[in-house]
Amino acid sequence: MKQILLLILLASGITISAIAQAKDDRVKAEIRAVMEAQAAAWNRGDIEGYMQGYWKSEQMTFVSGDSVSRGWQAAFDRYRKRYDSRAKMGVLTFSDLEMNILSKDSATVLGSWALQRESDNPKGKFTLIFRKFKNGWKIVHDHTS
């Protein structure tokens, strides 16, 4: 059966690499949608909505500076404490995204983040590890500087 499917694909001009690329493109679009939803939630002051992009587990890992924290709740509490006003939250943008699909259920994203605020414009880099769960792609590891 696999041989027949392969012959049909080859006869129609569709290559295995084209199929793989289409799958990768779909996964990248799904991950990009998660990140766009996070930025939209952040920009309307909704930290809980922003956190929907993270794996809601005690095993989720967040690294920033020389600090490592584990667990969705710990990350949520940290964000609520650090960004306790709209002025501190500012407007979040992600850019320079480089996505690497590792398997059917895992990927990495390297990128830049920036906040536009009245008093300053902090920015930095991040590396995210995404895993696909039944409820979609979620960040399981976030290393942000």
**Residue 2 CB partners (closer than 8 Å, separation 6+):** none
Structure tokens at 35: 């990140």
Confidence at residue 39, expressed as pLDDT on a 0 to 100 scale: 98
Pick from 95, 70, 94, 64: nearest CA to 82: 64
DSSP-derived secondary structure letter, 80: H
Structural contact between residues 53 and 42, judged by C-beta atoms closer than 8 angstroms: no
Structural contact between residues 136 and 30, judged by C-beta atoms closer than 8 angstroms: yes
Structural contact between residues 75 and 88, judged by C-beta atoms closer than 8 angstroms: no
42 vs 90: CA distance, rounded Å:
8
Which of the residue ranges 21-25, 47-51, 130-134 would you say has the lowest mean pLDDT? 21-25
DSSP 101-118: EEETTEEEEEEEEEEE-S
Q: In which band, very low, low, confident or very high, does the pLDDT at 1 lie, cut at 50, 70 and 90?
A: low
Q: In which band, very low, low, confident or very high, does the pLDDT at 26 lie, cut at 50, 70 and 90?
A: very high
Confidence at residue 24, expressed as pLDDT on a 0 to 100 scale: 82
**Residue 39 CB partners (closer than 8 Å, separation 6+):** 92, 93, 94
Q: Which helix (H) or strand (E) holds 128?
A: strand 123-133
Q: What is the pLDDT of residues 50-106, one digit of tens each?
A: 999 999 999 999 999 899 999 999 999 999 999 999 999 999 999 999 999 999 999
Q: In which band, very low, low, confident or very high, does the pLDDT at 131 lie, cut at 50, 70 and 90?
A: very high
